[in-house]
Amino acid sequence: MNGPEPFGARLRRAMDTRGPLCVGIDPHASLLRDWGLDDDVAGLERFARTTVEALADRVAVLKPQSAFFERFGSRGVAVLERTVAEAREAGALVLMDAKRGDIGSTMAAYAATFLDQGSPLFSDALTVSPYLGYGSLAPAVETARANGAGLFVLALTSNPEGREVQHAVREDDGAGTTVAATVLRHLAAENAGAEPLGSFGAVVGATLGDLSAFPLNVNGPLLAPGIGAQGATPADLPAVFGGAVRNVVPSVSRGVLKHGPDIIGLRDSATRFADEVRKAAA
């Protein structure tokens, strides 16, 4: 094989061996307090390192939320760099939840920051926003392909405000196609012919109910937030995702993190979620 192994292939293997689960690393102030930590850089680092120690050798994906590190400035970003490196060294795939979206050279710079293997923040995948037009993501797509990385593109998000954009019907195609369906079709084109799984996925909320009207079979992963604290359960996944359920990567944050800082509690919770998802998708 020429070049690095594609993200989709690495993700499929991780999901099959470790279970289909993504755990967020979301060190917001209230969760730091719940862990008995101060809302400062020291608390941030303790939180992130404990989560990595507990989970990086056993879950498929860890998803640091960049904003919760960036709020501490350069020292917080330094913690994020270490978190990414240590999680990857322990065997987890790292999905950087930064939801970047821009055009031209700015999008290329975001891509270089998170998707170029030479960057200290290199991650296995990145969340991105397509709402400047899907074509604006071209620099990120190109950088991801060259570096064996992936993208998760916002398509059908779980926040109620998303409907006004994502369910809007395009007037330019004459077929009544929604914006979200357009995004999904672009992703299917990116993943055409990829085996065992494409590297370009979508973010699709697990709380949205029946999505059979949307083309979810994009031959790529579907990151599904909403499991746990937001109300969805692993048992809901087949009804939401239908035939695409095997490619769903449920994302859980508070549902697991609330058990910290106890390492055993974090591990048991993540294992339970992964087992429930595996059973639901069987």
Catalytic residue chosen out of the listed positions 63, 99, 258, 279: 99
DSSP 64-88: EBHHHHHTTHHHHHHHHHHHHHHHH
What's the pLDDT score for residue 279?
A: 93
Backbone dihedral region for residue 262 (phi beyond 0: left; psi -120 to 50: alpha; all else: beta):
beta
Residue numbers in the chain where pLDDT is lower than 50:
none
What's the pLDDT score for residue 174?
A: 75
What's the pLDDT score for residue 1?
A: 53
What's the pLDDT score for residue 228?
A: 73
Domain chopping of the chain, boundaries: 7-277
**Catalytic annotation present for 99:** yes
What's the pLDDT score for residue 232?
A: 85
Which class does domain 7-277 fall in?
alpha beta
